[in-house]
Amino acid sequence: MENKTIAKNRKALFEYFLLETYEAGISLKGSEIKSIRAGQVSLQEAYIQIENNQAWLVNSHIAIYDAASYTNHDPKRSRRLLLHKKEIRILYSAVKQKGVTIIPIKMYLKDGRAKLEIAVAKGKKMYDKRQEIADKDMQRDIQRSFSVKE
């Protein structure tokens, strides 16, 4: 069955080098999953925090679901991630290193359940970003020159 991508953190690929990726489940309330299925999610400023042997998705925005009325959720609340203990230990030891963080890459539905792809990432320096932009521009120019000749 195909995974339906709900939200991507497009800026993450530009801002960080991705070292390792993991798939995590998310502990949600009823109105949150309805809002996710409607595609009202933002991962732009979100990050993962390890606390008391648990992983938490912090600062992500899941919009309020209008039909839920009084049983609605707080859009910016921290949500627990469902990972194995071994994975949490690996993530915790990785974050202890200088310049390394855990960020969400994308949120998707898999077999009707919301999943989050997270990555251990190292921040890029400004010159790395400039080099990446220059490489993309060069690739785009090469593609244009091939398409013009055909």
Q: What are phi and psi of 5, to 5 degrees?
A: -75, 130
Please check the confidence at residue 54 and state whether its pLDDT lies above 80: yes
b/e string for 63-81 if b means 16 or more Cβ within 10 A? bebeeeeeebbebeeebeb
Q: Model confidence over 87-140: pLDDT tens digits?
A: 999 999 999 988 899 999 999 999 989 999 999 999 888 888 888 889 989 999
pTM: 0.80
pLDDT, position 72? 79
Q: Could you tell me which residues come within 8 angstroms of residue 93 by beta carbon, excluding any fewer than 6 positions away?
A: none
Q: Model confidence over 58-75: pLDDT tens digits?
A: 999 988 887 777 777 788
Question: Could you tell me the CA-to-CA distances from 96 to 15, 53, 91 in Å, in that order?
Answer: 19, 14, 9
pLDDT, position 21? 95
Domain ranges (residues) in the chain: 4-124
Question: Could you tell me the CA-to-CA distances from 108 to 19, 54, 147 in Å, in that order?
Answer: 21, 21, 34
Please check the confidence at residue 41 and state whether its pLDDT lies above 70: yes
CA distance linking residue 40 with residue 62, whole number of Å:
6
Q: Model confidence over 28-39: pLDDT tens digits?
A: 888 888 888 888
3-state secondary structure of 97: coil
User: CB of 78 within 8 A of CB of 58?
Assistant: yes
Rg (CA), the chain: 18
Tokens of 67: 């039909």
**4-124 sits in which CATH class?**
mainly beta
pLDDT, position 43? 93
